[in-house]
Amino acid sequence: MKSGIERTDVVIVGAGFTGLSAALELKKAGVDFLLLEARDRVGGRVESMEIGLGERVDSGGQFLCEDMPELMALVEARGKTLVETYVKGEFITQPRMSAQQADRAYLGSMAIRDRMNAIAPDEPDIAGLTVAVWLDRQPDPDQAKAAFRSMIEGLWCQALEKLPLWHLIDNDRRITNEVSELQYFVRETMQSLADDLAGDLGDRVRLNTPVETIEHGPEGVRLVSAMGVVEARSALVAVPPMTASKLDFAPPLPAGLRRALGVWQSGAVIKVLVRYPSAFWRARGLSGVVMWRDLPGLFACDVSKDNDHAALVVFVGGPLALRWRELGDTALRAEVTTRLKDALGTEAADMLDFSYRDWTHDRWSGGGYSDLIVDATATDAERIILAGAQPLHFAASELSPSFPGYIEGAVMAGRIAARKIISGLQSAIATSASGS
């Protein structure tokens, strides 16, 4: 175990893709840094696990698409293999609908989403409205509304009753992909990409180092952990807002910043991976994509790496995840199996392996896929957090100008924060050199 005091220019808290990207930017600029991570691995909400068959699969963030240029460039630069997600064939809705009804419901839900995004986030008429209240006022058919709720609660993993309408609009407008976000996944796992990035940082990454206290003042920062003390000129807190709100700052953060960090709540998701002897659904002309209208937030799709690795991933999001997390292993497997059999037939019960990752109360990230503002009055929360409080800086995928809540957003957020810190350090050096 290390002890004593280490000194550096910048200390980063959190080695998810935000922290890793910031660290690589600092390294490129020749700025000394340390990256502290509470877990025994890097990646944050990107994670892999070994299933019963001895295979390693993504148990956290997994998908990407060609409209995510920063992440796509990293995947290519690190020599990763992209697997195109299988989407050919019929899309299943549960309870069952005819293909025509399903198309109407889907198109209707997208029309609601487009109508929502046509509203300005600062429109006075929507002040204080939740998404649920706004949706209830819309004239659309119930089937379209149900599909919209399932889609939103599945994507954002939060109850519509908690989501301020302005925040969802602002969030959704920054997610600009025109092709499906499920277009690709990485054969070697997305976690392997995080490991590669960390490998470039060498011994500047410290795992198993949860920060106990962040002391801060005009002269810099002092981070205390069980591994020792790190003193730095500035700190970047590169964790989700809700996680940042739980850190011990001394002295306490300014009241406005404390409130801005405290208005977020983590989404809830359970990610299930089911391996099969074969992709039986494909032989029946099915894509493997299933959306449950009667269970908002439940969604499945094909994540087979090849013919020898047939698999479905099932996402349980939002309020449904909070209910199902109480079931226990056996009952959760039975619930998922029953739903898959109803949708895809009896072969869905012929599983080689059933594995899942419950992110709903994760110790270090709070949940998945991202945090969301749940206070309708907190319209300036992001701006306040991004402004920070010198010498403290904050960054997270949630705060990214593009793809908030996605790995792409995390990469961008880390780079932007690092460049801001570099600029500040350079200005301080220039001021010192001029003697002013």
* Assigned token pair, 230: 């790190």
Q: Any binding-site annotation on 211?
A: yes
- Give percent helix, percent strand, percent coil of the chain, each to the nearest 5: 40, 25, 35
E strand residue ranges, 374-415: 392-394
- Rounded CA gap, 271 and 288, in Å? 16
Confirm or deny that 315 is annotated as ligand binding.
Answer: yes
Q: Which residues contact 199 (CB under 8 A, 6 or more apart)?
A: none
Length in residues, the chain: 436
Q: Is 18 annotated as a binding residue?
A: yes
| Type and span of the H or E element at 231 | strand 228-237
Partnered with residue 393 across adjacent β-strands are 236
- Residue 66, marked binder: no
> Residue 61: left (phi > 0), alpha (psi -120 to 50), or beta?
beta
Query: Alpha carbon of 157 to those of 81, 163, 332, 412: distances in Å?
Result: 29, 10, 18, 22
- Angle made by CA atoms 28, 224, 423, in degrees to the nearest 5: 30
CB atoms near residue 83 (< 10 Å):
16
> How far is the C-alpha of 291 from the C-alpha of 285, rounded, in Å?
17
- Angle at CA 277, nearest 5°, toward 276 and 279? 70
Which amino acids are annotated as binding site, given as ranges? 18, 37-38, 211, 315, 398
Which amino acids are annotated as binding site for FAD, given as ranges? 18, 37-38, 211, 398
Which amino acids are annotated as binding site for substrate, given as ranges? 315
